[in-house]
């Protein structure tokens, strides 16, 4: 089963995804896409680490997400990817559109063949004002297109607001 958990900053989306992963009763591998580039991001990473169960495996991969999913997906296994928008940011910051396109297509193309449970977490960025800067507008556009393509492929899509899940597709929580 593929699930997409969307929400704004501090909406409770990661906490919900962690609960869903735990509730599967399966071994969980947490796939972290963030990079500790500054003190603030280090603090966020530390907060996520303290919340995760010690028995969860961890894979840190900022770019080659499709490869990591193929290597770790297995029947009777749950993968939790947190988060897609950080992954997208990492690719955008390379300023290599061909690599962004290749990685996005590799991800989307790999989904149908992946066994086990996979939960994606991502920031819903398209609900605010249109950003002024070109890179920020591109980020919002790319995230929106990625979310649409993933939502089409996922069996469950949930929007999280103020810690409350709203099921958009699939069985309600």
Query: Facing residues of 119 across strands?
Result: 3, 80
pLDDT score for 29: 98
Share of the chain above pLDDT 90, in %: 83
In the predicted model, what is the mean pLDDT of the chain? 94
Q: What is the mean pLDDT of residues 80-107?
A: 96
- What is the pLDDT at residue 112? 96
Annotated binding site: 7-14, 32-34, 49-52, 60, 82
Q: What is the mean pLDDT of residues 53-65?
A: 96
Split at pLDDT 50, 70, 90, the class of 135 is very high
- What percentage of residues in the chain have a pLDDT greater than 70? 100
Position of tokens 């840190």? 60
In a domain, 128, yes or no: yes
Whether the pLDDT of residue 10 is over 80: the answer is: yes
19 pLDDT more than 80:
yes
Classify the C-alpha dihedral 10-14-20-23 as positive or negative: negative
Nearest CA among 106, 62, 99 for reference residue 81: 62
Nearest to 66 by CA among 33, 94, 98, 89: 33
Annotated binding site for GTP: 7-14, 32-34, 49-52, 60, 82
pLDDT value of position 42: 72
| Bridge-based pairing state of the strands 28-32 and 57-60 | parallel
Domain total for the chain?
1
Mean pLDDT of 113-134: 92
Known active-site residue 147 = no
Task: Please pick, among 27, 36, 45, 48, the residue that the annotation labels catalytic.
Answer: 48
Q: Determine the structural domain holding residue 8 and report its residue range.
A: 2-168
Residues 6+ apart with CB under 8 A from 74: 115, 116
- CB 8, CB 121: distance < 8 Å: no
Partnered with residue 123 across adjacent β-strands are 7
Compute the distance between CA of residue 77 and CA of residue 95 in angstroms, rounded to an integer: 34
pLDDT digits 0-9 by tens, 72-85? 999 999 999 999 99
Kindly list the distances between the CA atom of residue 23 and the CA atoms of 28, 51, 94, in Å, as whole numbers in the listed order: 10, 15, 36
- The verdict on residue 14 lying in a domain is yes
Pull the structure tokens for residue 29.
Answer: 């591998």
CATH number at residue 22: 3.40.50.300
Residue 38 has pLDDT above 80, yes or no: no
pTM greater than 0.75 (yes/no): yes
Cα angle value 153/155/159 (rounded, 5°): 95
Out of 7-16, 18-27, 33-42, 102-111, least confident range: 33-42
pLDDT of residue 50: 82
Strand-pair partners of 120: 4, 81
Contact by Cβ (8 Å): 104, 60: no
Within a domain: 173: no
Q: What mean pLDDT is predicted for residues 25-54?
A: 84
Residue 125 within a domain: yes
pLDDT at 126: 82
């Amino acid at each position: 089963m593929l699930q997409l958990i969307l929400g704004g900053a501090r909406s409770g989306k990661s906490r919900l995804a962690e609960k869903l992963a735990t509730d599967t009763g399966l071994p969980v591998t947490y796939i972290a896409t963030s990079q500790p580039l500054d003190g603030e991001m280090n603090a966020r990473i530390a907060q996520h680490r303290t919340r995760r169960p010690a028995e969860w495996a961890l894979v840190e991969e900022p770019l080659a997400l499709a490869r990591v999913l193929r290597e770790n997906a297995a029947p009777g296994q749950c993968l939790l990817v947190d988060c897609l928008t950080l992954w997208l940011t990492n690719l955008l910051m390379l300023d290599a559109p061909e690599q962004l396109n290749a990685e996005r297509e590799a991800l989307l193309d790999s989904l149908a063949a992946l066994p086990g449970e996979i939960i994606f977490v991502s920031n819903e960025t398209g609900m605010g004002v249109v950003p002024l800067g070109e890179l920020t507008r591109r980020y919002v556009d790319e995230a929106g297109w990625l979310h649409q393509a993933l939502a089409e492929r996922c069996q469950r899509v949930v929007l999280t607001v103020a810690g409350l899940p709203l099921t958009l597709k699939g069985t309600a929580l």
